[in-house]
Amino acid sequence: MRPFSYERAGDAAQAAARAAEVEGAKFIAGGTNLLDLMKLEIETPVHLIDVNGLGLDEISATDDGGLRIGALVSNTDLAAHETVRRDYGVLSRALVAGASGQLRNKATTAGNLLQRTRCPYFYDTAQPCNKREPGSGCGALSEGAFSRQLGVIGTSDSCIATHPSDMAVAMRALDVTVETITPVGMTRQIPLADFHKLPGDTPEQENALMPGEIITAVTLPAPVGGTHAYHKVRDRSSYAFALVSVALIRQPDGTGRVALGGVAPKPWRSDEADAELPNGARAVMARLLDGARPTEENAFKITLAERTLAAMLAEE
């Protein structure tokens, strides 16, 4: 870990302004991801701006019947919130499928969206990684590499990493919007669909935030009803990232929404695939995973996604 300085921001706008002003500054929320990465010198901020205590930890109703979740609401509190459990079950389930109780107590909503990939080559600074060190090459795509956990779609020749969040997958199914304040004090609303970027040639650019921009909240639209389910498949029963996860919201008439985790650099969903839901899992996945480019080791994720969705559809 490199030495760094530290400050507590007074309010969100000031935090954003400071973050843009000090080169190499970063926000710290729960610290569950950032600190680990700092110890390994994968992240090397020179200045930390603590965003705890900005009053961003409230959950409140919105005028159009939805919920506004403060950026600092912990994963535990969000999962346990009565309205979330009642009206946004997929979100509550995805949250408790993630990490461990201790971690969820510290992990925040914004931090969760911004957590970085778990690609093992990203984590070993002795290995090439375009995301960590642009232009150094992709360790996971080199000959003899181990790529079982990595992405199958939305990836590029530069990077095949996945976004590891469970929460974000459910949020994608719910069509949430990310609320921010820019360094010049402007408020922005970014649909989650546009929030995470695909790697292309620049896997180091992971989201739509501009330098210094701070997340203040995530808003859930009014409840969409239907039956909510989240199935996370992994090699052990708990405390592991998804091989594949499926968030499903299904209406009584058979229509609905499907989002996938563990397969792509962002939560993976498309309107075209959703439209196939009445026709079954195969039809959905044929659309959703069209154009997938798996490695030999992770091609099973395509079969797995389809079978998992099929089981979820059969369950009702």
Partner 1 sequence: MEFNEPAGENVFDHSKVVGRPTPRVDGPLKVSGRAPYAYERHDVAEGQLVGYPVVSTIAQGRITNMETEAALNAPGVVAIVTTLETGEMPIPSDMNVAPLFGGAEVAHYHQAIGVVVADTLEQARAAAALIKVDYDVTKGSYDLEAAWQEKREDRSDPVSRVGDFEAAFEAAEVTLDQEYRTPSQSHAMMEPHASIAAWKDGKLTVWTSNQMIEWTRQALATTLEMDPEDVRIDSPFIGGGFGSKLFLRADSVLAALGARKAGRPVKVMLPRPMVMNNTTHRASTIQRIRIGAQQDGKITAIAHEAISHTFPGGDGENAISQTQKFYAGENRLIVKHLAEMHLPEANAMRAPGEAAGLMALEIAMDEMAEKLGMDPAEFRAINDTQVDPEDPDKPFSERHFVECLNRGSEAFGWGDRNATPGQRRDGNWLIGHGMAGAYRGSPAQDSGARVRLQPDGRLIVETDMTDIGTGSYTIIAQTAAETMGLPLDMVEVRLGDSDFPVSAGSGGQWGAASSTAGTYAACLALRSEIAKKIGVNDTDSLTFKNAGVRTGEKQMTLASIASEGEIVAEYTMEFSDSRDEEIVSTFAAHFVEVGVHVATGEIRLRRMLAACDAGRILNPITARSQVIGGMVMGVGAAMMEDLAIDEGRGFFVTHDLANYEVPVHMDIPDQEVIFLDTLDPQSSPLKAKGVGELGLCGVAAAVANAVYNATGVRVRDYPVTLDKYLDQLPAV
Ligand X SMILES: Cc1cc2nc3c(=O)[nH]c(=O)nc-3n(C[C@H](O)[C@H](O)[C@H](O)COP(=O)(O)OP(=O)(O)OC[C@H]3O[C@@H](n4cnc5c(N)ncnc54)[C@H](O)[C@@H]3O)c2cc1C
Question: Which residue of 71, 91, 141, 249 would you call a contact of ligand X, by CB under 6 A?
Answer: 71
Q: Considering the complex, what minimum distance in angstroms separates the CB of residue 106 from ligand X? A: 5
Look at residues 224, 238, 109 and name the one whose alpha carbon lies nearest to residue 174. 224
Tell me which DSSP letter residue 8 carries: E
Judged by phi (left if over 0) then psi (alpha if -120 to 50, else beta), residue 77 lies in alpha
Show the tokens assigned to 261.
């985790």
Q: Is 129 in the site for ligand SF4 (CB under 6 A)?
A: yes
Q: Is 199 in the site for ligand X (CB under 6 A)?
A: no
**Which residue(s) pair with 47 in the sheet?**
5, 25
Q: Considering the complex, what minimum distance in angstroms separates the CB of residue 127 from ligand SF4? A: 7
Q: Is 102 in the site for partner 1 (CB under 8 A)?
A: no
Q: Which is nearer to ligand SF4, 149 or 216 (CB)?
A: 149
Q: Which is nearer to ligand SF4, 89 or 139 (CB)?
A: 139
Show the tokens assigned to 291.
């154009």
Q: Which is nearer to ligand X, 57 or 175 (CB)?
A: 57
Q: Considering the complex, what minimum distance in angstroms separates the CB of residue 240 from ligand X? A: 7
Using CB under 8 A as the binding rule, the residues of this chain from 28 to 57 that contact partner 1 are: 39, 41
**Which residue(s) pair with 261 in the sheet?**
245
Q: Is 146 in the site for partner 1 (CB under 8 A)?
A: yes
Q: Considering the complex, what minimum distance in angstroms separates the CB of residue 102 from ligand X? A: 9
Cα Rg, the chain, nearest whole Å? 19
Q: Is 1 in the site for partner 1 (CB under 8 A)?
A: yes
Determine the straight-line distance between the first and last CA of the chain, rounded to whole angstroms: 50
**Which residue(s) pair with 134 in the sheet?**
none
Spatial contact of 275 and 284, defined as CB atoms under 8 Å apart? no
Query: 118 is in the binding site of which of ligand SF4, partner 1, ligand X, none (Cβ under 5 to 8 A by kind)?
Result: partner 1
- The C-alpha atoms of residue 91 and residue 145 are separated, in whole angstroms, by 34
Q: Is 203 in the site for ligand X (CB under 6 A)?
A: no
User: Cα 72 to chain center, whole Å?
Assistant: 15
Q: Is 122 in the site for ligand SF4 (CB under 6 A)?
A: yes
Spatial contact of 261 and 93, defined as CB atoms under 8 Å apart? no
Strand ordering across the sheet containing 59-61: 59-61, 67-70, 214-220, 177-181, 187-191
Q: Which is nearer to ligand SF4, 160 or 249 (CB)?
A: 160
Site string for ligand SF4, 169-208 (x = CB under 6 A): ----------------------------------x-----
Q: Is 159 in the site for ligand SF4 (CB under 6 A)?
A: yes
| Residue 252 backbone dihedrals phi, psi, to 5 degrees | -55, -25
Q: Which residues of 54-76 are buried (b: 16+ CB within 10 A; e: fewer)?
A: bebbebeeeeeebbbbbbbbbbb
| Chain residues in the site for ligand SF4 (CB under 6 A) | 117, 119, 121-122, 129-131, 138-141, 150, 159-161, 203
- Binding residues for ligand X, rule: CB under 6 A, are 26-34, 36, 51, 71, 98-99, 103, 106-108, 110-112, 114-115, 164-167, 214-215, 241
Q: Applying CB under 8 A, which residues contact partner 1?
A: 1-3, 39, 41, 118, 120-121, 123-127, 139, 142-146, 148-149, 231, 233-241, 243, 281, 297, 300, 303-304, 307-308, 310-311, 314-315
